[in-house]
Amino acid sequence: MANKAYKFRLYPTQEQEQLLAKTFGCVRFVYNKMLEERIQIYEKFKDDKEALKQHKFPTPAKYKRDFPWLKEVDSLALANAQLNLQKAFTNFFSGRAGFPKFKSRKAKQSYTTNVVNGNIKLADGYIKLPKLKWVKLKQHRQIPVHHIIKACTITKTKTGKYFISILTEYEHQPVPKEIENVVGLDFSMNTLYVDSEGKRANYPRFYRQALEKLARAQRVLSRRRKGSNRWHKQRLKVAQLHEKIANQRQDFLHQASRQLANRYDAVVIEDLNMKGMSQALHFGQSVHDNGWGLFTTFLQYKLAEQGKKLIKIDKWFPSSKTCSCCGRVKVSLSLSERLFRCECGFVADRDTNAAINIKKEGLKQLGIA
C-alpha cells in the first residue's frame, strides 16, 4: 500500500466559512481542554510512571456534555485533535519533542477529518464533507480511480484562502527497475544542486525576483507603526508574498524532481543534516528556504513510484576534496576556490567534481563498478 496526497483550493460559501471557523475553534478548544486535563494528570502521577500509563485520558465525548455546541461540528475533527495530542505526548515521552503546548488563536487554522461510510465524496467540482455538505473546489488534476480517499485536512491560510489536502491510499508494488542511468547531485546553496554531468538546477528568475520583492516588503513593514492601519495592510501584503513564494518554490521542486525521476534509474545524494548544517555554517534560515529537504522527499517518492532508487551516502564522505579523476584527496580546499585542480592535471568545476564523486560512491553502494 502506498499513500499520496492531493491538494486543491476550496471555495466555501459564507455559511460554510462560518462553520469552518467554528470547527477550527472547536478543535483548538477541545485540544486545549484535553491538554489542560492531561497536564493535571501528569503533575499528579509524574513520579509514578506505571500509574501514569494506566490512567484513562479525557476524550472529546466527555466535553460534549458540558459544551453542547461542540456537537455542531464534525466529530471526526475533534477525534483527530485527540489523536494529535496523543502523538504530541508520545513524541515528548520518547524525547523527540518538548512538552505539548496549548494552541493559540494565532496558530494554523486547520483540522483533519476521515472517511467513514462514504461521508466524503468528490463529484463535478465539489467535495462532500461531514457537516459542511458540498463545498466547491478547483480540482486541477484527477485522482486515479484506484486511489481510495482516507482523510482530508482543511486549512485556512493567513490571507484567507482555503485548501484541502486529500490523503489517498492505493495498491502499489512497482517492479524494481534495472539500474542503468545513475546521476549524482551535489547540494548547492544558490541553485539547489549541481549534477555529475555538470548541469545546475536553477530557481526560475520570477522566483528570485519575488524573493527580492518580499525582502523590500518586509523592510517597509518594519518601518510602520505596529498595530496601525498601514501596518496591518502591509502585513497582509507580506503574508501574500510569503504564500506566493512558497507555492512557486514547491512547483519548482516538483518539476526538478519529476525530471530527474523520469530520466534516471537511481539518484545519489549526500545525507545532509540540514539543521546541523545551518547551525554549523551560520547559513541561518536560507538553508531551510532552499527547500532541499522538500526536494529530496519529492524525489524519493517519485523514484519509488517507478521502482527506482534514491541512494543516500554518508555525509562525512569528502566529496569536495577528492579528485574524481585519480582519487587523490586534498588536505584543504577553501570555499572560495570554484575550480578544482588536481596534481594529476584534472581540472573541473568544484561542484561538478563533488557530484561525480557522489555518483561514484553511490555506484559502489549499488555494487556497480
Regarding 89 and contact with Zn ion (CB under 5 A), the answer is: no
**Contact with Zn ion (CB under 5 A): which of 346, 349, 365, 366?**
346
In whole angstroms, the minimum distance from the beta carbon of 325 to Zn ion comes to 4
Give yes or no: 270 in active site: yes
The 8-class DSSP code of residue 323 comes to -
Q: How many residues bind Zn ion (CB under 5 A)?
A: 7
Regarding 267 and contact with Zn ion (CB under 5 A), the answer is: no
Nearer Cβ to Zn ion (68/345): 345
Nearer Cβ to Zn ion (290/352): 352
Query: 84 with 31: CB under 8 angstroms?
Result: yes
Residue 67, CA distances (Å) to 21, 100, 109, 151, 214 in order: 17, 23, 21, 26, 43
Nearer Cβ to Zn ion (42/346): 346
Nearer Cβ to Zn ion (131/321): 321
* CA–CA distance, 45 with 52 (Å, rounded to integer): 5
Regarding 67 and contact with Zn ion (CB under 5 A), the answer is: no
Q: Which of 186, 195, 265, 361 is an active site residue?
A: 186
φ and ψ of 138, to 5 deg: -100, 100
Q: Which of 195, 265, 270, 361 is an active site residue?
A: 270
* CA–CA distance, 319 with 265 (Å, rounded to integer): 22
In whole angstroms, the minimum distance from the beta carbon of 342 to Zn ion comes to 3
Residue 309, CA distances (Å) to 132, 273, 313, 354 in order: 42, 20, 13, 20
In whole angstroms, the minimum distance from the beta carbon of 349 to Zn ion comes to 15
Regarding 348 and contact with Zn ion (CB under 5 A), the answer is: no
Regarding 329 and contact with Zn ion (CB under 5 A), the answer is: no
In whole angstroms, the minimum distance from the beta carbon of 344 to Zn ion comes to 3
Site string for Zn ion, 307-326 (x = CB under 5 A): ----------------x-xx
Nearer Cβ to Zn ion (61/344): 344
In whole angstroms, the minimum distance from the beta carbon of 207 to Zn ion comes to 37
Nearer Cβ to Zn ion (189/344): 344
Regarding 79 and contact with Zn ion (CB under 5 A), the answer is: no
Question: Which residues fall within 8 angstroms of residue 47, CB to CB, at 6 or more apart?
Answer: none
Name the one residue in this structure whose C-alpha cell is 570555499: 335
Closest CA to 296 of 262, 260, 244: 260
Query: 184 with 317: CB under 8 angstroms?
Result: no
* CA–CA distance, 231 with 223 (Å, rounded to integer): 9
Stretch that binds Zn ion, among 91-99, 138-146, 211-219, 334-342 (CB under 5 A): 334-342
DSSP per-residue string spanning 3-31: EEEEEEEEE--HHHHHHHHHHHHHHHHHH
Dig out the grid coordinates for 25 from the structure: 475553534
In whole angstroms, the minimum distance from the beta carbon of 198 to Zn ion comes to 17
Please calculate the CA angle 316-352-183 and round it to the nearest 5 degrees: 80
Query: 146 with 171: CB under 8 angstroms?
Result: yes
Name the one residue in this structure whose C-alpha cell is 455542531: 72
Question: Which residues fall within 8 angstroms of residue 286, CB to CB, at 6 or more apart?
Answer: 189, 278
Regarding 116 and contact with Zn ion (CB under 5 A), the answer is: no
Regarding 342 and contact with Zn ion (CB under 5 A), the answer is: yes
Regarding 333 and contact with Zn ion (CB under 5 A), the answer is: no
Site string for Zn ion, 171-190 (x = CB under 5 A): --------------------
Nearer Cβ to Zn ion (179/325): 325
Regarding 245 and contact with Zn ion (CB under 5 A), the answer is: no
Give yes or no: 186 in active site: yes
Dig out the grid coordinates for 120 from the structure: 466524503
Closest CA to 16 of 115, 107, 131, 113: 131
Nearer Cβ to Zn ion (290/357): 357
Closest CA to 354 of 323, 311, 318, 320: 320
Regarding 238 and contact with Zn ion (CB under 5 A), the answer is: no
In whole angstroms, the minimum distance from the beta carbon of 87 to Zn ion comes to 51
Q: Which of 74, 195, 265, 351 is an active site residue?
A: 351
- Active site members: 186, 270, 351
Q: By the criterion CB under 5 A, which residues form the site for Zn ion?
A: 323, 325-326, 328, 342, 344, 346
